[in-house]
Structure 1
Amino acid sequence: MSEQTPFHVLVVDDDKLMRQSLVTLLEAAGWRVDTLGRAAFVQDYLSDTTPDVILSDVRMPGMSGLDLLAQLVGMDSAPPLVLISAHGDIPMAVQAVQDGAYSFLEKPYEPRRLLTVLQNAAERARMRQSNARLTERLYQLSGLDRIVLGQSAEVQALRQDILAFADIDAAVLLNGETGTGKDLAARALHDLGPAPDAPFLALNCAGLSAETFETDMFGTWGARDGRLLAAAGGTLFLDEICACPLPVQAKLLRVIENKEILPIGAPAPIGVTFRILSSTNEDADQAVRDGRLRSDLFYRLNTVVLNLPPLRQRQDDLALLARHFLDQAARVYDISAPDLSQLDLAALLAHDWPGNVRELRHVCERRCLAARRGNGTMTEAIRADLSLENVPVTLREAVATFERELIAKAIRDHAGRMDETAAALGIGRRTLNEKIVKLALDKDALL
C-alpha cells in the first residue's frame, strides 16, 4: 500500500464504540477512515466521495447492511462491501455474498483477518478502476494517438516526429526491432501526408527475387502493369531493406534515382514518382560495412531516421497496450475482455518482450482464448504452454504442430530470409518451401 495513496474505507455501524475501535485499528494500519452511524446516509456520502471499500454491520436500525447491499448493487462503480455479522447472521451473510457483497466477517473479528479482507477488497477495487480508466482512455483516443499507442516519453516523441515529417517529401528510414510497429509508423506517415488516398505499396524486401523483380515490379508492355506503376504517385515502403538481395537493391536504386521504370518490351521508360519510406530491424551502418546494403542506396533512404523504441523500454505503456489488445481480441472471439489483475501487471512488467508489441498482441489473444474456457492468466499466456486440451490427438498432428511452431519461429528470427531460415533449421531451401506449403504457413503474416 503506497504511503502517498493510502486505502480509504468507510465504516458504517450504529455502535459508536465499535466505530471508534475500528477507526483506531485501521488508522494504525495506515488507512484513511470515514465513519457513518446509519446506512441511510451512505448514498449521500457516495455522491461526493468514493472510498476503496465499505465496511458495514449487518443489523442496524432503519436500513440494514443487506438493504445497503441492495442499494450498492444498483449503482455504477460502487465500492465493494464487506459485512460484519453476529454468529446468528452467518446464513444471512453467506446469502449476501452470493448477492454481491465482497465478503463477511463474524463477530468478534480477528484484526489481522479484517485487515487482509479489506486490503484485498480495496486492491480489487483499484484494479477495476484502473481497467475502467484504461478503457475510457482508449475510447477517447483518435487519429495518430490510436495508431501509435502509448504515453511514454519515447512514444510521444515518435508521434511528434511522424506529424513533423508526414507532409515533407523526404525519404524516411524507420529503425526498430522486429515487432515494434514500423509498418504502422510507415502507414501513419502516408495517411497523414498530403495524398492519403494515393496508393501505399509495401514491399517485403526479404522476399524479393532478382529473377522475377522486373516482371513483377515493372510489368510487361501491352500486357499488364507492374506493381510499381500501379503505385505511382503514392508511397513506396521498403520493409526490412537490409534483407534485400543486392541485385534487387541496384534495380531499386535506379528507380529511385531516375524516377522511371522500363516495362519489359517497352520502347521507352515511363516516369514514376513515389514517397520513399523504408525500415530495418538491424544496424544499417553495419550492414553497409558488411557489404549487405549498398551505401548509395542507404544514403538515398536515410534523409530522416526515426527510431522506434523496443517494448522493454516502454513499461509505462504496457497496461494501456495490453488493455487495447485484450479489447481487440475479445471482440474477435465475442467475449468480455478479461480484466488485468495485479498479478497480470506484474507478469507483464517482469517479461523482457523480445518480440515487442507484436508478441504482446499474441499474448493477449492467447489470454482471451483461455478466458473463453473460463480460465487463464497473463503469466500462462506469456509462457504459451500448450494445455492438455490443446494437444493434438494423433502423433502425426502433434508433429505437424511442432514443425509449424518451429518453422514459424525460425522465419521470424531471421526476418523472412529463407536461406538463413533453412540453414538454421538444418534443412534445404526446397524442403523448407515444401513444408511451408504443406503446413499452410503464411510467411507475410508471420513477419
Structure 2
Amino acid sequence: MRVLIVDDDEDILLAAKMFLKKHCKEVVIESNPKKIPFLLNQASYDVILLDMNFTEDTTSGKEGFFWLEKILEQTPKAVVVMITAYGDVEMAVKALKLGATDFVLKPWQNEKLLATVLSAAKLSNSYKEVESLQKTNQHLVETLSGGEIIGESKAIQQVLAMIEKVAKTDANVLILGENGTGKELVAKAIHRYSLRAKEAFVSVDMGAISENLFESELFGHKKGAFTDAKEDRTGRFELAQKGTLFLDEIGNLPLTHQAKLLAVLQNRQITPVGSNKVIPIDIRLICATNLDIHQAVAEGNFRQDLLYRINTVEIHLPPLRERAGDIPILAKHFLQKYAKKYHRPTPKLSAETIAFLENYPFPGNVRELEHALERALIMSDSETLSPDDFFFLKATKTSTFNNSLATSTLNLDDVEKEMIQKALDKYNGNISKAAKELGLTRASLYRRLEKYGL
C-alpha cells in the first residue's frame, strides 16, 4: 500500500509517517499542497491523506476543497481521506459530497487512523480491480469463437503439435507464413491453451499503425500529450496485462520503432506518452509476419537483437498448396459456416469441383478459399456447386497461367503482382473492392501496392 500525506504541520507529517510506515509499503509526506500535481504525475497512491486547512486559510477548509477537486480532476479514481483539526460536520459532509472517501480528526488515535486508511485502501483496490476487469472485458477476444485450425495433412498436424508444446510455457513465439495461412488463428490457439487463457488476448496490426501514433497505440498517452490527445488512452501493452499481446505484421515495423519495442521488451515496462509514470508489464508476446524475417535481418531491415527477443520459438505455417488433402475438409467447414450465416441449405461439392479447387494454387491461401466459397454459396442457387460457380477463380487461374508462360516465370511475387493489378483494373482502382476480391485487408493491400510499386 502506497500512501501520500499532505499537511502543512511538520509534526503531524512525521508522526503519521512513523506510525503508518509499519503498515504500508511506502509513505510519502509533503507540506506544500502546490506539489500535489507533480506527485500524482510521478506515482500512483492507494490512499491520499489531505489536510482540510493550510496556512493561508486555517479554518474555512476552502484550500482543502480546492486541492480535493484538483486531485480528483487529475486522478478521478483517487481515494482521498480529509484531515481536519475542527470537528465541523458541514465541512466533512461537503468534502464527502465533493468526492472524499472519509475524514479523520486530529489529534487522532492511531488505531482510528489505521482503520480509516486500511478501509480506504480496500476501496482503492476494488476500484483498480473493477477498472482492470472493464479493460479486460472491452478488449478480450473470445478465442473459442475465433475459429479452429482445421486439417488432417501432415504439415498442419506438425503445427498443432508445436502449439501444444509451447502453449503452456511463457515463451515468446514468432509465427511465419504467407498471407491468409491463419497466423492469428494460431496465436489465438496458443493463448486459448495457455495459463493466461482467462486473461485478455489483444491483437495489433503493426502494419496498419501510423508512424506518428506508434507509441500512443502501444504504450498509451495522457490527456494533452499531443494535439488530438483529448483524453487519457490505455496502450495495447497495458490492455494485455497478464494476458497475451499479438503483434501481427511485425516485419513491417520501421527500425526506429523496432528500437523502442526492444527497449520495452527488455525492461518489461512502458511509459505512456506525456507521462513520467513507469508501468510494469506482464504479458505473453506472440508476433507474426509474412516476410522472410531472417533475410530482412541479413539486409539490415530488421534488428537481429529484436529477432532474438521475439522468436524463442518459431512456428512456420504451410501455404494451402502444401496441405494435401485439407481443401475438401476446409471447404465443407466454410460452406456449413456460411450456410448457417445466410440461412441457406449447405450445398455439396461435386468431385469435379473438388478436383478444380485442389488444383488451384490459392495465392491467398485459406483466406482466399474461404472468400471463394462464401461468394459461390451466395451466387449459386444449386444444391451442388460446380466449377462454373467459381468462374472468378477459373479466370484468374487461366490468366495467371498464360501470363506465367508468356514471361517464362512462375515466381509467386510476379503472380501476386499480376493478380493485384487485375483486381485494381477490374474495380477501377477501388481499394476496398480490390482488397475484398483478393481476400486481403485494405492495410495488407496498401503494403503490397507499395512493395510492387503499383
What secondary structure, in the 3-state scheme, does the structure 1 residue paired with 2:315 have?
Answer: strand
Cα offset, 1:324, TM superposition? 0.3
The answer on whether the counterparts of 1:318 and 1:349 sit within 8 Å (CA) in structure 2 is: yes
CA distance in 2, matches of 1:352, 1:308: 16
Residues 244, 228 of structure 1: alpha-carbon distance in 2 compared, 3 angstrom cutoff: same
CA distance in 2, matches of 1:245, 1:258: 20
CA deviation profile, 1:93-117 (whole Å, cap 9, x unmatched): xxxxxxxxxxxxxxxxxxxxxxxxx
What secondary structure, in the 3-state scheme, does the structure 2 residue paired with 1:147 have?
Answer: coil
What does residue 40 of structure 1 align with?
Answer: none
CA distance in 2, matches of 1:216, 1:338: 43
CA distance in 2, matches of 1:419, 1:345: 32
Residues 419, 367 of structure 1: alpha-carbon distance in 2 compared, 3 angstrom cutoff: closer
Residues 67-82 of structure 1: pairs in structure 2 closer than 5 A: none
What secondary structure, in the 3-state scheme, does the structure 2 residue paired with 1:211 have?
Answer: helix
Give the alignment partner of residue 416 of structure 1, picking from 434, 440, 444.
Answer: 444
Alignment-mate amino acid for residue 219 of structure 2: F
CA distance in 2, matches of 1:250, 1:206: 16
264-273 or 402-411, which deviates more:
402-411
What does residue 192 of structure 1 align with?
Answer: 193
CA distance in 2, matches of 1:268, 1:146: 39
CA distance in 2, matches of 1:310, 1:373: 30
The answer on whether the counterparts of 1:221 and 1:266 sit within 8 Å (CA) in structure 2 is: yes
Residues 225-304 of structure 1: pairs in structure 2 closer than 5 A: 225-304=234-313
Between the two proteins, the alignment pairs up a number of residues equal to: 274
What secondary structure, in the 3-state scheme, does the structure 2 residue paired with 1:315 have?
Answer: coil
Cα offset, 1:407, TM superposition? 5.7
What secondary structure, in the 3-state scheme, does the structure 1 residue paired with 2:188 have?
Answer: helix
Cα offset, 1:401, TM superposition? 8.1
Structure 1 unpaired stretches of 5+? 1-142, 387-397, 427-447
The answer on whether the counterparts of 2:245 and 2:285 sit within 8 Å (CA) in structure 1 is: yes
What does residue 390 of structure 2 align with?
Answer: 381
CA deviation profile, 1:287-319 (whole Å, cap 9, x unmatched): 111222111111111110111111111121111
- When the two chains are superposed, the root-mean-square deviation of aligned CA atoms in Å is 3.1
CA deviation profile, 1:206-236 (whole Å, cap 9, x unmatched): 1223321222222234733222212211111
The answer on whether the counterparts of 1:172 and 1:276 sit within 8 Å (CA) in structure 2 is: yes
What does residue 82 of structure 1 align with?
Answer: none
Residues 289, 311 of structure 1: alpha-carbon distance in 2 compared, 3 angstrom cutoff: same
The answer on whether the counterparts of 1:363 and 1:382 sit within 8 Å (CA) in structure 2 is: no
CA deviation profile, 1:114-165 (whole Å, cap 9, x unmatched): xxxxxxxxxxxxxxxxxxxxxxxxxxxxx89971111111111211111111
What does residue 156 of structure 1 align with?
Answer: 157
CA distance in 1, matches of 2:201, 2:442: 25
CA distance in 1, matches of 2:438, 2:381: 30
Cα offset, 1:373, TM superposition? 7.0
Residues 372, 425 of structure 1: alpha-carbon distance in 2 compared, 3 angstrom cutoff: farther
Alignment-mate amino acid for residue 253 of structure 1: L
CA distance in 1, matches of 2:345, 2:310: 45
CA deviation profile, 1:366-391 (whole Å, cap 9, x unmatched): 121122477852453263489xxxxx
Identity of aligned residues (%): 35
Cα offset, 1:194, TM superposition? 0.5
Residues 397-436 of structure 1: pairs in structure 2 closer than 5 A: 404-406=432-434, 412=440, 416=444, 418=446, 421-422=449-450, 424=452, 426=454
CA distance in 2, matches of 1:379, 1:350: 15
Residues 3-18 of structure 1: pairs in structure 2 closer than 5 A: none
The answer on whether the counterparts of 2:175 and 2:316 sit within 8 Å (CA) in structure 1 is: yes
The answer on whether the counterparts of 1:208 and 1:244 sit within 8 Å (CA) in structure 2 is: no
CA deviation profile, 1:318-354 (whole Å, cap 9, x unmatched): 1111000111111111111111111111111211111
CA deviation profile, 1:234-263 (whole Å, cap 9, x unmatched): 111111211112222111111111100011
Residues 47-446 of structure 1: pairs in structure 2 closer than 5 A: 147-221=148-222, 223-372=232-381, 377-381=386-390, 383-384=392-393, 404-406=432-434, 412=440, 416=444, 418=446, 421-422=449-450, 424=452, 426=454
Alignment-mate amino acid for residue 383 of structure 1: F
265-274 or 333-342, which deviates more:
265-274
Alignment-mate amino acid for residue 285 of structure 2: I
CA distance in 1, matches of 2:451, 2:293: 23
Residues 406, 147 of structure 1: alpha-carbon distance in 2 compared, 3 angstrom cutoff: closer
What secondary structure, in the 3-state scheme, does the structure 2 residue paired with 1:277 have?
Answer: strand
The answer on whether the counterparts of 1:335 and 1:372 sit within 8 Å (CA) in structure 2 is: no
Alignment-mate amino acid for residue 302 of structure 1: N
Residues 382, 411 of structure 1: alpha-carbon distance in 2 compared, 3 angstrom cutoff: closer
CA deviation profile, 1:155-190 (whole Å, cap 9, x unmatched): 112111111110101011111111110100000000
CA distance in 1, matches of 2:310, 2:202: 16
Residues 287, 425 of structure 1: alpha-carbon distance in 2 compared, 3 angstrom cutoff: closer
Residues 247, 177 of structure 1: alpha-carbon distance in 2 compared, 3 angstrom cutoff: same
CA distance in 2, matches of 1:403, 1:377: 29
Cα offset, 1:420, TM superposition? 5.5
Alignment-mate amino acid for residue 192 of structure 1: Y
The answer on whether the counterparts of 1:175 and 1:279 sit within 8 Å (CA) in structure 2 is: yes
The answer on whether the counterparts of 1:209 and 1:248 sit within 8 Å (CA) in structure 2 is: no
CA distance in 2, matches of 1:210, 1:235: 23
